[in-house]
Structure 1
Amino acid sequence: MSDFWNERYAKNEYAYGIQPNQFLVESISKLPKNGKILFPAEGEGRNAVFAAKNGFEVFAFDTSNEGKKKADKLADDNNIKIDYRVGILDNLNFTAASFDGVVFIYSHFPKAIRATIHQQIEQLLKPNGVIIFEAFSKEQLQYPSGGPKNIEMLFSEEEVTEQFQNIEFDFVKTEIIELSEGPFHQGKGSVVRFTGKKK
Structure 2
Amino acid sequence: MSWDERFSGAEYYYGTEPSAFVRAQAWRLARGSSVLSVAEGEGRNAVWLAAQGLCVHALDGSAVALAKAQELACARGLTVAVEQADLARYIWPVEAHDAIFGVFIQFAPPPLRQAMFRGMAQALKPGGYLFLHGFSRRQLGRSSGGPPVAEQLWTLDELRAAFPGWEVAHQADYEAALSEGAGHVGAAALIDFIARKPSEAPGAAR
User: How has the CA–CA distance of structure 1 residues 58 and 114 changed in structure 2, closer, same or farther, with 3 Å as cutoff?
Assistant: same
Cα deviation for residue 152 of structure 1 reads: 1.5
Cα deviation for residue 90 of structure 1 reads: 6.9
SS class of match (1:142): coil
Tell me what 1:198 maps to: 197
Cα deviation for residue 151 of structure 1 reads: 1.3
The answer as to 2:183 corresponding to 1:179 is no
Question: 4+ runs of 1 displaced by more than 3 Å?
Answer: 89-94
What is the TM-score when the length of structure 2 is the normalising length? 0.90
Whole-angstrom distance in 1 between the partners of 2:168 and 2:188: 23
Cα deviation for residue 92 of structure 1 reads: 5.3
Contact 2:37 2:59 in 1 (8 A): yes
Size of the aligned set, in residue pairs, is 197
Q: Percent identity?
A: 30
Give the alignment of 1:30-109 within 5 angstroms: 30-89=28-87, 94-108=92-106, 109=108
User: How has the CA–CA distance of structure 1 residues 141 and 90 changed in structure 2, closer, same or farther, with 3 Å as cutoff?
Assistant: closer
Cα deviation for residue 10 of structure 1 reads: 0.4
What is the TM-score when the length of structure 1 is the normalising length? 0.93
Match of 2:15 among 14, 17, 21: 17
Cα deviation for residue 110 of structure 1 reads: 2.1
- Deviation string for 1:23-69 (max 9, x for gaps)? 11010001233200000010101000001111000001111111111
The answer to which of 138-147 and 17-26 deviates more is 138-147
Which letter does structure 2 place at the counterpart of 1:153?
A: Q
Cα deviation for residue 136 of structure 1 reads: 0.5
Contact 1:32 1:101 in 2 (8 A): no
Contact 2:31 2:54 in 1 (8 A): yes
Cα deviation for residue 89 of structure 1 reads: 4.1
Tell me what 2:137 maps to: 138
SS class of match (1:191): strand
Which letter does structure 2 place at the counterpart of 1:83?
A: A
Whole-angstrom distance in 1 between the partners of 2:114 and 2:150: 15
Which letter does structure 2 place at the counterpart of 1:183?
A: A
Cα deviation for residue 165 of structure 1 reads: 2.4
Structure 1: which 5+ runs fail to align? Answer: none
